[in-house]
Amino acid sequence: PAQTRAEAAKSQASRAEKAQSQPKVIIFDTTLRDGEQSPGATMTHEEKLEIASLLDEMGVDVIEAGFPIASEGDFAAVTEISKRSKNSTICGLARANYKDIDRCWEAVKHAPSPRIHTFIGTSPLHRAIPNLNMDEMAQRIHDTVTHARNLCDNVQWSAMDATRTEHDYLCRVVEIAIKAGASTINIPDTVGYTAPRESADLIAMLLQRVPGADGVIFATHCHNDLGMATANSLAAVEAGARQIECTINGLGERAGNTALEEVVMAMKVRNDIMPYRTQIDTTKIMNLSRRVSSVSGFAVQFNKAIVGKNAFLHESGIHQDGVLKNIETFEIMRPADIGLTAHNISMGKHSGRAALRSKLKELGYELADNQLNDVFVRFKALADSKKEVYDEDLLALVADEATND
């Protein structure tokens, strides 16, 4: 039986109440730092300000606005984004040295809520680069996190290449960073090497073994080299991580970072098995995706989950018919959930009569059955000769039909 309006309102209210009691996952967006680091994705100053303001409006908790020591341009962008920020915490990246950290603080200090994010590579391969032994690196972590904490109340520390770091050493340095005052500990999968179960086990191991771990937020920062960034991030959340680092459209070096739209929509659509909440206004996703694609020059693949051109597009006759009767038949979320207004039916050789009728109605034409039959025959002939039949083609067919009458 259909729900009454009062029942619907009640169940909506109880869903909202339930959502509030669910653990919150902090969404940390690094489109402007790790995303922009992608070769060829450089954005102008104005473009960075625009993207930051859209991220802030969308409800992103932390915006990593850039790497202030990297260039004058990055410093200027992080400074200006900090000054203009409204709700989001603004974070800048710094390597494990005082000069980087001071420069980062100079840029983020204008934000109502600033954060310094400092990192060092802790795996054997990365330790070899600054040529530090384990004890020297541990000391460096202590000194730099302490220095950052003396400047800013909100310090994030990352163990770069954590997923390839020896567990005993990782536990040791995480404990040092916590004791030195870091309130967020990031466990990056820098080269996209981990897999979901391992990603979960790593977070669980740290929460269990490191003294003081229950007083900080653990973050997951995954790269997509094996196509598992979203799965690895969600597995880390299942194990207790409470911050996901991600980018719009999964923009990032090599195969990119975890895509914000994927983790956010996965938690929303599968809230029954992933009972976590984010404060993202998902209806702003599509616009941000288009803006990031346009300013970075990185096209979004057609079949990309959530934001790809085809993500809500139906061509097969059976699917189109099902969607027209009840959207849930072939869609697990509504286009409107991500801010897409029109229902997407792609007209091609697999489309049926019901889809044609609906499409023509959308274009302003309601044809009698015999007229529809004529147009349908000619539509099928046309569809056989081209990949997609556009609105203009349909309008031409309808105009021909009117002339023939």
Nearer to ligand KIV, 119 or 365 (CB): 119
Cα R_g (the chain), whole angstroms: 25
> Is 167 labelled as part of a ligand binding site?
no
CA atoms within 13 A on the CB side of 264: 30
Residue 34 in contact with ligand KIV, rule: CB under 6 A:
yes
| Complex with Zn ion: residue 33 or 147, whichever CB lies closer | 33
DSSP 314: B
Alpha helices in 22-71 (DSSP H): 45-58
- Is 223 assigned a ligand-binding role in the annotation? yes
- Beta-ladder partners of 21: none
Interface region with ligand KIV, contact rule CB under 6 A, candidates 186-194, 224-232, 318-326, 345-353: 186-194
Pairing relation of β-strands 89-95 and 114-121?
Answer: parallel
Nearer Cβ to ligand KIV (42/87): 42
> Among 114, 188, 256, 339, which residue interacts with ligand KIV (rule: CB under 6 A)?
188
Instruction: Answer yes or no: is 257 a known binding residue.
Output: yes
Positions in 353-392 near Zn ion (CB under 5 A):
none
Q: How far is the CB of 119 from Zn ion (least distance, A)?
A: 9
Binding mask 110-139 for ligand KIV (x = CB under 6 A): ---------x--------------------
From 32-40, 206-214, 264-272, 334-342, span contacting Zn ion (CB under 5 A): 32-40
Asked if 38 touches ligand KIV (CB under 6 A), the answer is no
- Cβ neighbours, 10 Å, residue 208: 11
The residue (of 127 and 221) whose beta carbon lies closer to ligand KIV is 221
In the complex, what is the shortest distance from the CB of residue 223 to Zn ion, in angstroms, rounded to a whole number?
6
What is the enclosing helix (H) or strand (E) of 176?
helix 167-179
Q: Are 222 and 5 in contact (CB under 8 A)?
A: no
Q: Which does 119 bind (CB under 5 to 8 A by kind): Zn ion, ligand KIV, none?
A: ligand KIV
Asked whether 238 and 202 are in contact (CB, 8 A), the reply is: no
The smaller minimum CB distance to Zn ion, of residues 189 and 331, is found at 189
One residue of 29, 34, 175, 315 binding Zn ion per CB under 5 A: 34
User: Rounded to 5 degrees, what angle do the CA atoms 108, 109, 114 make?
Assistant: 65
Judged by CB under 5 A, the stretch of 34-42, 49-57, 80-88, 393-401 that binds Zn ion is 34-42
Distances (CA, A) of 306 to 59, 147, 315: 18, 41, 17
Please pick, from the candidates 123, 144, 158, 346, the single residue that binds ligand KIV as defined by CB under 6 A. 158
Using a 10 angstrom Cβ sphere, with 0-12 exposed, 13-18 middle and 19 or more buried, the burial of residue 222 is buried
* Residue 92 binds ligand KIV (CB under 6 A): no
262 binds ligand KIV (CB under 6 A): no
Full DSSP string of 93-144:
EEESSHHHHHHHHHHHTTSSSEEEEEEEE-SHHHHTTTT--HHHHHHHHHHH
- Type of residue at 108: V
Residues 256-271, buried b or exposed e (16+ Cβ, 10 A)?
Answer: bbbbbbbbbbbbbeee
Q: Of 29-37, 43-51, 289-297, 303-311, which part binds Zn ion (CB under 5 A)?
A: 29-37
Region of 183-191, 203-211, 307-315, 352-360 interacting with ligand KIV (CB under 6 A): 183-191
Determine, following the binding rule CB under 6 A, whether residue 31 of this chain makes contact with ligand KIV. no
Q: Is 186 annotated as a binding residue?
A: no
Size of the site for Zn ion (CB under 5 A): 1
For the packed helices 369-385 and 353-362, what is the interaxial angle rounded to 10 degrees? 100
Q: What is the amino acid identity at position 378? A: R
Verify binding: residue 233, ligand KIV, rule CB under 6 A: no
- Total of chain residues touching ligand KIV, rule CB under 6 A: 9
Cα dihedral value 251, 256, 260, 262, nearest 10: 120
What is the nearest approach in angstroms of ligand KIV to the Cβ of residue 268?
26
Residues binding Zn ion (CB under 5 A): 34
Per the annotation, where are the binding residues for Mn(2+)? 34, 221, 223, 257
The footprint of ligand KIV (CB under 6 A) covers 34, 119, 158, 160, 186, 188, 190, 221, 223
